[in-house]
A = this chain, B = another copy of it.
Amino acid sequence: MLISGDKYVERLSGYEREIYVRGEKVEDFTNHPNIKPVVKSIALTYELAGKKDEYSPYSKLVDDKVNRLNYVNENAEDLIARYDFQRELSMRLGTCNYRCTGCDAINSLYPATKEMDERLGTDYHKRFLELLKEIQRKDYACTAALTDTKGDRSKRPKEAKDMYVHVVEKREDGIVVSGAKIHQSGAFAADINFVLPTQTFKEGEEEFAIAFAVKPEDEGVKYILQNTGYQAKFREGGEFEIGNPYGDRITCTVIFDNVFIPWERVFVFEDLKATRNLLTNFAISHRCVGASCKAGFIDSMTGAASLMLKVNGLDRVPVLRQKIGEMVGVSEAAHAIAVGSATKGFESYGTWLPNMLMANSGKVIGVEGFNKVIMNLAEIAGGIPVTAPSEFDLKSEEVGKYVEKYLVANPEFSAEERMKVIKFVEFWITSSHLLGAVHGGGSPAAAVVFLQILADMKEREEAVRDIIGLKR
């Protein structure tokens, strides 16, 4: 089923959740200035789903249309439709849509649980399908939590147990877990949080090889929000001072303090192989969609750069237009890599996954490209995004007249119009997105290691040996 954005907000308002901002528990969380932008962003994933058929595919599982982000991809077209959807979401939000990890989790758990059941004769896949049906029917917003805090890196999980989400008690009706997950984008505004391991484990560490789902209102689940400068700005309010009403990407630390998980929401339990599969699937799924997500962000920055040149009256300067062309090149390349990865992807237990090498290459190129684009935007924008007066100055009785006069460049745009563009560019350059681009889906270094290990070096070497006549 497809519900509206408003419906999602309405449902969300009904939940009781433990969310903390600046050390204080939040009341009426959907209206909190730091959470409302997240809710608005997610609402758009509901609204936009209806825009195109590709964004809301038919699911046999529930015999209904469902949001593309809750769908199990069966072929390359599915995956490409997802990438197109995500690129458009990124462009239209200029920030995180918060549901991509949920989609990655669904498309990783589906094949991993199926493989496990075939191997072990268990029924985890069935359990998972039950939840998935609920998700599709109720049009839930889902996220996934992976990164454990880890603590002292010189210790193995067994020695640093508390720093990994782990089972505290195994009961007949379920398990009790404790631990914490960091870097969680928007988890507090979702309906479901999938919880997956942060890494693969060795024999003897089976106890950490678990995957399950929580509902944010489960007892013992607590969310502590990040607090960058932009959060403070949102708390102070304003009409366009905040740059992007959808906000910076808002993450949190999720605390699991003795949380009970019924068996029907446990999908991997102490299985090393399923964990490995799960994580590999998740990594390529998330890195690959990241390329399209960045493409959308770059589209937004390119639109902003183009507008900036106009409000500045510099839209005919060749060297600046060239920089716009370069930005377009990066976004098209990033999305093309994702589409190419999908096209050259593979099927795994009923799920279509992107090509492993290409997906990882998308991560590497994506970070370099994102950096280049930020620098281009910075050059195009001039210094004003960080030196301009505020919306409140513009509206001030005492100094408003000065701002109104001196902030105009191209006479076709008022000071207010120019300021709106300026504040949006400020958002892109000083928000947390640059760091998010670097580390989202794992560091570029991790992707390079993956590429080096996975590439068919033998074939490449053989080709050279044939050319130069080097026998072996």
Contact = CB atoms under 8 A, between A and B. Distances in A.
A407 B339 CA distance: 38
Contacts of A326: 364, 448, 451
Complex copy number for this chain:
4
B449 A403 contact: no
A393 B336 contact: no
A409 B92 contact: no
Given A25-B398, A182-B387, A224-B402, A457 B339 contact: no
A306 interface: yes
B464 A400 contact: no
B183 A384 contact: yes
Given A253-B406, A375-B438, A467-B244, A328 B455 contact: yes
Given A339-B344, A462-B303, A92 B329 contact: no
Nearest to A302: B460
Contact of A386 (B330, B384, B432): B432
Interface string A295-338: 00001101110110000111000110110111011111101111
A229 interface: yes
Given A463-B300, A469-B420, A312 B91 contact: no
Given A229-B233, A379-B443, A399 B20 contact: yes
Main SS class of interface, A:
helix
A448 B227 contact: no
A11 interface: no
A2 interface: no
A320 B217 CA distance: 39
Contacts of A335: 340, 358
Given A151-B408, A299-B463, A306-B457, A438 B227 contact: no
Nearest to A431: B430
A72 interface: no
A379 B222 CA distance: 28
B420 A23 contact: no
24 contacts: A20-B389, A23-B399, A25-B398, A91-B463, A92-B466, A92-B467, A149-B409, A153-B313, A180-B406, A183-B384, A228-B386, A229-B232, A300-B460, A303-B464, A325-B450, A329-B361, A329-B447, A331-B361, A336-B355, A339-B340, A340-B343, A378-B438, A379-B438, A381-B435
